[in-house]
A and B are shown apart, each in its own frame.
Chain A
Amino acid sequence: MNIRRLSGLILLVLIFLGGAAGGYLYFMKIFSNEKPAEEAVETLTGREDIFSLRIYYPAGDRLRIEERRLSRRTVQIAIAEAAVEEYLKGPSSVAVSSIPRDVRLLGLYKDADRILYVDLSDEFRRNFQGDALTEFLILRGLYESLVSNIQDVQDVKVLIEGKEIETLGGHLYLLYPLKNMVPHE
């Protein structure tokens, strides 16, 4: 009798342990299936957060537009920063860019008159090589790349190392905001 009871108890314990193990394996499988699902959601969100910038690059004797896709920025000044940085990288469609090399964006701010100040490193002036049209297109390209991507900007003014300088390459004024210095041809 005692032996019967003991073997029944052992059987119950075994059944319980089997159930627990089965349950563990079942839930493990469910959780491990959920992980890739989470990654998929993240990717989907990332795709939705991409936006595009229209950058105007000098190409020959005119400006050429290239679209650049970047992760979303909502603040206008961050968009302006991205536009300048993309512009300074130069075009992907032209082998030799006339945009001066190694230029860094040092600062960017907008004043009460909605003039956007773009503070660039001295390389912008120092590494400039070109004639009057090159200079015109470089400045016009920068201006267009900013005003076409940013709302509420009246004009753009370039500073070099935080200072106003008279000219970029000896042909056009850099002392004044760009809109009237480099109007549409």
Chain B
Amino acid sequence: MAVSLSAQLKKEVLLKFSKQEGHMRIVFEAEGTLINNAKVTISSPQIKIEFPETFNLTGQKDLSFELVPSEKLLVINLKEKGEIKFFRLSSPARLVFDIQKKEIQKKKQTEKKIEKQAEKQTEKTVEKQPVPILSMVFVIDAGHGGYDFGIISGDVSEKDISLSLAKDLNTVLSKKGKKVFLTRKVDQYISLADRINLVNQKSPDVFISLHFSISENFILYSPKFEEQDSNEIVDFYSLSSRQKKYIEKSKALSDSIERAIKDKFKANVIRREIPLPILNSVGAPSVLIEFPSPRFLAYDQQMRARLINLIINGITLYGRSSL
């Protein structure tokens, strides 16, 4: 009887716990007085909570840490050291502990550092541009995506790098006050027709499609029309008429990007004219750039910043020439 009475006097503390890829959250929910007056001491990998009253712990089982309750004290022994963040929250009153594994923490810090460095580097090089970019609206197309990997070299795939370059280009141009639309922002399959529709909806001043070559060269594709374009099949599918008005501007855009590549990389640039739907069917000055295969060029953060820089240079030159 005495035992049951003592159990009744004990305050209920409800334990909740969740874990996901190196992050763990432990929550103790109880009435306000118990939570607000609890003393918490953190010394990773151990957390001590001293409640003002005796308590009865209920809630989840199968925990990935050890719990040692005794009278008013609750000791939590974590299996590994990590960064522990503690919050005392209300409605409902609760103590929240967010634990992050050290490796994940380090990885995040490194990633942030790399991102900041790349941003600084891109900004630095872009600041050097003496002439502002005159075009206002851009559509950037990251080639491939989803189940369409594009060219694969080791663990590098065309779809990932083209997306990364498109996002970087978006960041730089947006910071300059330009309106930028991406045909895809994540790793997903987008049909050629949908990409073309997006470009034609936005009517950009410049459209750039980003791809890889299988060679060590930079390759620039310009739109091309055949004499027989007037035949019934092409007319029936309405495939290629939109670009006709912009073909000279598209060539000027390719010329400017070619100059920028030669300035920055001293590399061989191959110009090709193939009736690619992504160029022929869009109503905008357009170019498809194929960067050297990842077999010949390491696409690290520094290289990506250089490539973004050369595109910005090319766009700037194009802006000047189209004045």
Contacts of B277 in A (CB 8 A): 172-173
- The one of A129, A171, A185 in contact with B152, judged by C-beta atoms closer than 8 angstroms, is A129
Q: Is the CB of A170 within 8 A of B214?
A: no
CB contacts under 8 Å to B, within A145-185, are: 155, 166-167, 169-173, 176-177, 179-181, 183, 185
B151 is an interface residue with CB less than 8 A from chain A: yes
Known contacts A166-B191, A170-B192; is-contact A131 B239 (Cβ 8 Å): no
What CA separation (Å) do A176 and B240 show in the bound complex?
13
Interface hit among B15-23, B31-39, B227-235: B227-235
Minimum C-beta distance from A112 to chain B (A) = 15
CB contacts under 8 Å to A, within B242-262, are: none
Against B, the Cβ 8 Å flags (1 = close, 0 = not) of A94-130 are 0000000000000000000000000000000000011
**B interface secondary structure, majority:** mixed
What CA separation (Å) do A179 and B215 show in the bound complex?
27
B143 is an interface residue with CB less than 8 A from chain A: yes
Point out residues on B near A: beta carbons under 8 Å.
Answer: 143-144, 148, 150-152, 191-193, 211-215, 219, 221, 226, 228-229, 231, 233-234, 237, 239, 272-278, 288, 290
What CA separation (Å) do A185 and B143 show in the bound complex?
23
Could you write out 22 A-B pairs with CB less than 8 Å apart?
Answer: A129-B151, A130-B214, A131-B213, A131-B214, A131-B215, A131-B219, A132-B211, A132-B276, A132-B288, A134-B214, A136-B274, A166-B193, A169-B150, A170-B143, A170-B144, A170-B192, A171-B276, A176-B237, A179-B233, A180-B229, A180-B231, A185-B274
Using CB atoms, name the residue of chain A closest to B226: A183
Minimum C-beta distance from B147 to chain A (A) = 9
Contacts of B211 in A (CB 8 A): 131-132, 171
- The one of B148, B151, B231 in contact with A130, judged by C-beta atoms closer than 8 angstroms, is B151
Which 5 pairs between the two chains have the least Cβ-Cβ distance? A183-B226, A131-B213, A170-B144, A131-B214, A170-B148
Minimum C-beta distance from B79 to chain A (A) = 44
Using CB atoms, name the residue of chain A closest to B153: A129
Contacts of A177 in B (CB 8 A): 233
Point out residues on A near B: beta carbons under 8 Å.
Answer: 129-134, 136, 155, 166-167, 169-173, 176-177, 179-181, 183, 185
Given contacts A132-B272, A173-B277, A183-B228, 11 further A-B contacts (CB under 8 A): A129-B152, A131-B211, A131-B212, A131-B215, A131-B219, A131-B290, A134-B214, A167-B192, A169-B148, A170-B150, A185-B273
- The one of A130, A134, A155, A172 in contact with B276, judged by C-beta atoms closer than 8 angstroms, is A172
Minimum C-beta distance from B277 to chain A (A) = 5
Using CB atoms, name the residue of chain B closest to A181: B275
Minimum C-beta distance from A144 to chain B (A) = 16
Minimum C-beta distance from B297 to chain A (A) = 14
Q: Is the CB of B274 within 8 A of A132?
A: yes
Contacts of B152 in A (CB 8 A): 129
Contacts of B150 in A (CB 8 A): 169-170
